[in-house]
Structure 1
């Protein structure tokens, strides 16, 4: 084999290896604009390997909880919009504690000069308030959710699991199992009354 053949074989092996690694390793910011990835990559390399590995481990849990929490927000918004006849359900159905939280968070962001995160007040309340909104209007969700006590237990468990996920902690192995089971419980709850 001459030098040119060795070099060509090396390049082909590297390409095959890269393809295998790309399929195995989750891509940073999957779905993100490649310009954003280019901006963040130099910053990531400054952190310790341990912190980067923990971030990759927690990213899957964050993704799951992000989808679940936003699906719950959508369920609340759709259900209460339907019952109120329009998008002004907030004034009618939101408990006072949620309205106070909304106003405080909105004001804090306005005073900081931040871009508004949403026009929907529901996007400004905590996960705990989502449970409060469902509980205070359970008669409107009763045909969707199978059991009010189960809903309360599941929302309580999810709220506790949310802490380490949303606040850059780590979930213990048992809590990862609990998260998976509780998400399954949520979807079972959505099967409605039997």
Structure 2
């Protein structure tokens, strides 16, 4: 996207999509952070140590925010790359990013008994891979992001906290606040 008009068109299409999803019956957001009681029962959560469950529930809220952020970053990459390169944009991505994602996708496909991350290679990328795509196609992203370095700082900070949570660690209040600041900055910047 090279002009302000293109950016407005992109945002307007996004708003129309949101409206269409709402009209089609999209469920309202649930950001309460409560665990679904049906899942808790299936997981025998009541049999586990109460303190550990309480700590994990606090981190589940942070995980929810980080997962939504990661998926919004993927959505931005997909929509921007389609706009810039067309429907077959994935072929223009650097080979190392493509190969890593496609290898993960192939590996998961072998396990047919288990849910997959998604049906597109981009679902198998890390934040660093998204950053590589953004850097390599900066002219398409500069309408949304202030700089590749700013994007890198957001991704790096979020990923550091993500890795702690994904390996059953606990973030302290300052770390949670830091994630929140970066997520608010991201949403304010890109509107997602």
Question: SS at the partner of 2:51?
Answer: helix
Gaps of 5+ in 2: 1-31
Judged with a 3 Å threshold, the aligned counterparts in structure 2 of structure 1 residues 90 and 56 are, in CA distance, closer, same or farther, namely same
Which structure would you say has the larger RCO, counting Cα contacts within 8 Å and 6 or more residues apart?
A: 2
2:157 corresponds in structure 1 to 157
2:129 corresponds in structure 1 to 129
Query: Does the Cα contact within 8 Å between 2:158 and 2:179 map onto a contact in 1?
Result: yes
Superposed displacement of residue 185, structure 1:
2.3
Taking structure 1 as the reference length, what is the TM-score of the superposition? Answer: 0.74
Judged with a 3 Å threshold, the aligned counterparts in structure 2 of structure 1 residues 158 and 46 are, in CA distance, closer, same or farther, namely same
CA distance in 2, matches of 1:106, 1:174: 35
1:28 to 2:35 alignment: yes
Judged with a 3 Å threshold, the aligned counterparts in structure 2 of structure 1 residues 125 and 26 are, in CA distance, closer, same or farther, namely closer
2:104 corresponds in structure 1 to 105
Over residues 130-182 of structure 1, what are the superposed CA-to-partner deviations in whole Å (9 max), with x where a residue is unaligned?
Answer: 11111111111011112232112112212212111222211122211111111
Over residues 43-95 of structure 1, what are the superposed CA-to-partner deviations in whole Å (9 max), with x where a residue is unaligned?
Answer: 10121011111111101101111111111110100110111222x11111x22
2:148 corresponds in structure 1 to 148
Question: SS at the partner of 2:110?
Answer: helix
Query: Does the Cα contact within 8 Å between 2:127 and 2:159 map onto a contact in 1?
Result: yes
Query: Does the Cα contact within 8 Å between 1:146 and 1:190 map onto a contact in 2?
Result: no
Superposed displacement of residue 36, structure 1:
4.1
CA distance in 2, matches of 1:170, 1:96: 35
Question: SS at the partner of 1:185?
Answer: helix
CA RMSD of aligned residues (A): 2.0
Judged with a 3 Å threshold, the aligned counterparts in structure 2 of structure 1 residues 157 and 91 are, in CA distance, closer, same or farther, namely same
Task: Report the more deviating stretch, 60-69 or 163-172.
Answer: 163-172
2:28 corresponds in structure 1 to none
1:6 corresponds in structure 2 to none
Taking structure 2 as the reference length, what is the TM-score of the superposition? Answer: 0.74
1:185 corresponds in structure 2 to 185
